[in-house]
Amino acid sequence: DSNLDVYRGTADAISQNIDFIDNYGPDYLLVLSGDHIYKMNYAKMLAEHKAQNAEATIAVIEVPIREASRFGIMNTNETGQIVEFEEKPEHPKSNLASMGIYIFNWKTLRKLLVADMKDPDSNHDFGKDIIPQMLNNGNKLYAYKFKGYWKDVGTIDSLWEANMDLLDKNNELDLHDPTWKIYTEDVTSLPQYIGPDAQINQAFITQGCIIEGEVRNSVLFTGAKVGAGAKIIDSVLMPGVVVEEGAVVTRALVADNVKIGKEAVVGSADSEHIELVSKRVKGVE
């Protein structure tokens, strides 16, 4: 029942729902971030949290040291206890990146959140405020090392990579794993249609797609259309994208419902970054 219209930070999203959480009287609270792709057994993380007698447990993953400055980095001692937290450090001391997945003892966190709500100088953020405050207070914070597939999809390149990973037969995130099924929302749509002259090589083609041209090493979401003679190479087409006749799309991520005109050329095979196409591309009229 907050008067605020928006959440001011990641911790504020919990603070504004304290009454709701209190209804359940939890001993522990699991907090998940939404812009990552992974699969994890949270029961194992909770068991380790209890075994370590920690007040907060933070899931971490080892990242290449050259990329560590993009993340919140946890520096630990030999027992796995977190002794220092650095937000996007210029010169990282370790490569243990926070995954934005936390387990807190609810009573401890609740007190911190109530104080944080009243602090006008706070960002109301777990990484910037709550975790540093816990370290200052001497609370025991433990780093839970996650092994497995994890992708931070906060950039266009990483979102593209996550889709391309699905096409890799060695990908750890296996959509076909019968023991851990991953479901997607079904939509009311016709089946995909593959035309008589279409060519498809290594691709996910979702329902409602109409393919008349060539699709190679790409992921096509619901209702994407590829015209005759058009080529989709190393690309991701979001729902409703229309690529007209003869157009070529290479190493690109095309946003929902964008139309790429006849014989237009988008992206490049040798570009360093993925081309984001967020508005209509005119072709030959």
118-122, 150-154, 213-217, 248-252: least confidently modelled range? 150-154
Q: What is the pLDDT, as a whole number, of residue 283?
A: 87
Which of 201, 203, 200, 237 is closest to 222 using CA atoms?
A: 237
Q: What is the pLDDT, as a whole number, of residue 266?
A: 97
> pLDDT, tens digit, for every residue of 33-47?
878 888 899 999 999
DSSP state of 272: S
Mean confidence (pLDDT) of the chain: 92
Q: What is the pLDDT, as a whole number, of residue 156?
A: 93
Q: What is the pLDDT, as a whole number, of residue 70?
A: 86
Helices (H), 190-265: none
178-202 average pLDDT score: 88
Which of 121, 122, 119 is closest to 10 using CA atoms?
A: 122
> pLDDT, tens digit, for every residue of 79-99?
999 999 998 999 999 999 999
Of residues 284 and 48, more confidence is placed in 48
pLDDT band (50, 70, 90) for residue 173? confident
- Is the model's pLDDT at 183 over the cut of 80? no
- Is the model's pLDDT at 276 over the cut of 70? yes
Based on DSSP, count helices (H) and strands (E) in the chain, helices before strands.
6, 21
Q: State pTM to two decimals.
A: 0.80
> pLDDT, tens digit, for every residue of 144-171?
999 988 988 888 999 999 999 999 888 8
> pLDDT, tens digit, for every residue of 237-256?
999 999 999 999 999 999 99
Convert 129-152 to b/e letters by CB count within 10 Å (16 or more is b).
Answer: bbbbbbbeeebbbbbbebeebbbb
pLDDT band (50, 70, 90) for residue 231? very high
Q: What is the pLDDT, as a whole number, of residue 1?
A: 42
51-55 average pLDDT score: 97
Q: What is the pLDDT, as a whole number, of residue 5?
A: 56
- Is the model's pLDDT at 192 over the cut of 70? yes
123-152 average pLDDT score: 93
pLDDT above 70: percentage of residues in the chain: 98
Q: What is the pLDDT, as a whole number, of residue 208?
A: 94
218-225 average pLDDT score: 97
Bridge partners, 232 (sequence order): 215, 249
Distance, in Å, from the CA atom of 251 to the CA atom of 233, rounded to the nearest integer, reads 7
208-229 average pLDDT score: 97
